Amino acid sequence: MAYRAKKGLEDIICDSTAISDSIGETSELLYRGYPIEDLSENCVYDETALLVLEGELPSKERLILFRKQNIAIRQQVAPQMKLLDHLPASLSPLKKLSIAVLALEENSNYQADEVILAAMPLLAAKICTQIPAGTFGPTVFNPQLDEADTAKFFLESMLNKPMPEKAVAAFDKTMTVYAEQGFNPSTFTARIVTSTRGDVYSAISAAIGALSGSLHGGANQEAIKMLRSVPSVAEVDSWLAHQLKSGGKLMGFGHRIFRNGDPRAPLMKRCRDMLARLSPASPLPHLADALEIAVYREKELRPNLDYSAAVAYELLGLPDEIFTVIFAVARTAGWLAHIKEQKTNNRLIRPMAEYTGPEKRHSRP
């Protein structure tokens, strides 16, 4: 039988899911039937995470219980943060996170998905404070383990200081927007590992590895590097012309499914603008807007969510090395939901390949 390859599995429907729906034609993204715009406007990340995981928005009582459990798990897991002090300093933050997740397996008082979801912000915050002081300021790790709100806990633990309410609210919304998006590469990786009957910790660790690439989660980190290379708003057109002529990449633009525009991009831009009002002296938002206009004029490419996320996290004072780690923490809810769904009706994911090697031949004695 001859098999014809479909590079990148583009447009291949390999399974069904009830978790989210990415509708490319109309640029819509639904989490369990709710438009992402509604969730970003009306729900906090903890509510969104429970929706993605459990199928319904939580009651007030369920949200309180969830947050109390997260506090208890973080307090129990906190001593394990010492592991991160013994990893090579040369490891990237995502590699550290991938290793640290595997170490959580020793915790047996809670279900694996509960431990991972609660512990990820704690692990990531510790990793953030390990980034060299020459690159980033605080090196003290002093998490407020009694803080119930995940976004507030995560942001203030990374920066080791209280943050304005509006900054926390904007950061929370970025996490909601990043929480889930169908069979993306990292989620598909988690489902593949799960399909082999691999454990949850291994599936999440593998998903983090998939997220690290610049064509997936690493795009936000690459986008801020790109924006820093643009000298000024006045020089956007000349910079872009050189970039296109030299074959340089435009990071943070385009999307495989949302070809008519990423519905998350304007939501992330609103988060960016919320933070820009707290840091009015920064030229980055104006620069990003000018480049967005120029790119669409020249290439008819629209930005995806990573483009404005990069600026938002820069405005918060976070190091770019941690941008993709934040993505991973937010996406953990989606990964865990897909792992659970894969287990419910599992079949080993094992595609075929189109053979392009030599025709049948024989060796000589």
Active-site choice (46, 306, 320, 338): 306
Top pLDDT among 151 and 351 is at: 151
Q: Does this model's pTM top 0.75?
A: yes
- The one-character DSSP state at 99 is H
Tens of pLDDT, residue by residue over 167-186, are: 999 999 999 999 999 999 99
The question of whether 255 is a catalytic residue gets the answer yes
Annotation says 172 is catalytic: no
Work out the pLDDT band at 134, boundaries 50, 70, 90.
very low
Q: Give 186-202 pLDDT, tens digit per residue.
A: 999 999 999 999 999 99
Task: At 110, list the tokens.
Answer: 């809670």
From the list 255, 262, 320, 338, the catalytic residue is: 255
Kindly state the greatest CA–CA separation across the chain: 78
Q: Distances from the Cα of 322 to the Cαs of 94, 200, 286, in angstroms?
A: 8, 23, 23
Dump pLDDT digits (tens) for 226-260: 999 999 999 999 999 999 999 888 999 988 888 88
Cα separation, 186 vs 207, in Å, equals 4
Q: What percent of the chain has pLDDT over 70?
A: 96
Q: Which tokens is 271 given? A: 């988060």
Range in 9-13, 68-72, 99-103 with the lowest mean pLDDT: 9-13
Q: What is the pLDDT of residue 184?
A: 92
Query: Predicted confidence band at 5 (pLDDT cuts at 50, 70, 90)?
Result: confident
Give tens-digit pLDDT for 47-97. 999 999 999 999 999 999 999 999 999 999 988 888 898 999 899 999 999
